[in-house]
Amino acid sequence: MFYHFLKYVVLGPILKLLFRPWVEGAENLPKEGAAILASNHLSFSDSIFLPLSVPRRITFLAKADYFVGRGLKGRLTTWFMKGAGQVPIDRSGGRASEAALRKALEILGDGDLLGIYPEGTRSPDGRLYRGKTGIARMALEAGVPVIPVAMIDTFDVQPPGQVIPKIQRIGIRIGEPLDFSRYEGMEGDRFVLRSITDEIMYELMQLSGQEYVDTYATKAKEDIADARQAAREALVADDRALVGSRRAS
């Protein structure tokens, strides 16, 4: 009930007025029945624009951190995430990954649309990164198609770290459903899971026009953080050397 209120009364009309989202390939979304929507992930706002721009409800698996914030901001974030149809999951791996899989299968078993970001996290620089194979396992165990979805220009609207979005038009490009029934019963084969995931990522690359990087986005973020730290340390070292030379003179 609250989801539809948020979509059709509160946020939906405002966002459509401000950002004028265009949608291509809406006919590729099934009118009923379960399916996985595999999307690239450029911005926090992806989880807002996509559900508000398509007719059927989409349930996303969101990191649990969004649901445990403190203070007014934390409560508002939790309120919004639940209202937008987000389901909290633990991304720490191991048993948590199995719990996330079970929750995904439960959603798909109810005949609903499940939204997944195969990259696992937002792109740090607007490029498309290697997908994680959990989506392939979900598709095979649930026996449902995967529909690739490309978010267009949302990185420019709200890149990671930017709180207030920039007002400009965004787009959503929905590809044709991918059928992996030929791999039925092979969800335990890691080579099959990697092949399926790579096929999904290739379709996302074609739809989005993004440059593809064959490494995980989490690793890219770590490398960027390390480079920034090294730059800061180098700057401090240069400042100390400059101070030392001035004292010596």
Residues 99 and 197 placed together within one structural domain of the fold: yes
pLDDT tier, 86 (very low <50, low <70, confident <90, very high otherwise): confident
Burial status of residue 204 (CB atoms within 10 A of its CB: 0-12, 13-18, 19 or more): buried
pTM: 0.86
pLDDT at 154: 97
Q: What is the average pLDDT across 200-226?
A: 94
pLDDT at 168: 95
How many domains does the chain fold into? 2
- CATH code, 164: 3.40.1130.10
Residues 158 and 236 placed together within one structural domain of the fold: no
SS (H, E, C) 211-229: CEECCCHHHHHHHHHHHHH
Q: How many CA atoms lie within 13 A of 88 on its CB side?
A: 14
pLDDT at 84: 65
- Please say if the pLDDT value at position 65 is more than 70: no
Count of helices and strands (H, E) across the chain: 9, 9
- The residue with greater pLDDT, 92 or 228, is 228
Residues 172 and 111 placed together within one structural domain of the fold: yes
pLDDT tier, 46 (very low <50, low <70, confident <90, very high otherwise): very high
Instruction: Compute φ and ψ for 82, nearest 5 degrees.
Output: -65, -40
Residues 133 and 59 placed together within one structural domain of the fold: yes
Residues 224 and 172 placed together within one structural domain of the fold: no
Residues 105 and 222 placed together within one structural domain of the fold: no
Residues 35 and 87 placed together within one structural domain of the fold: yes
For tokens 């948590």, the residue is 96
How would you classify residue 166: left for phi > 0, otherwise alpha for psi between -120 and 50, otherwise beta?
Answer: beta
Residue 27's CB is within 10 A of a number of other CB atoms, namely 9
Residues 239 and 175 placed together within one structural domain of the fold: no
Q: Range of 124's domain?
A: 2-213
For tokens 């730059």, the residue is 231
Q: Which of 117-121, 174-178, 237-241 shows the lowest per-residue confidence on average (mean pLDDT)?
A: 237-241
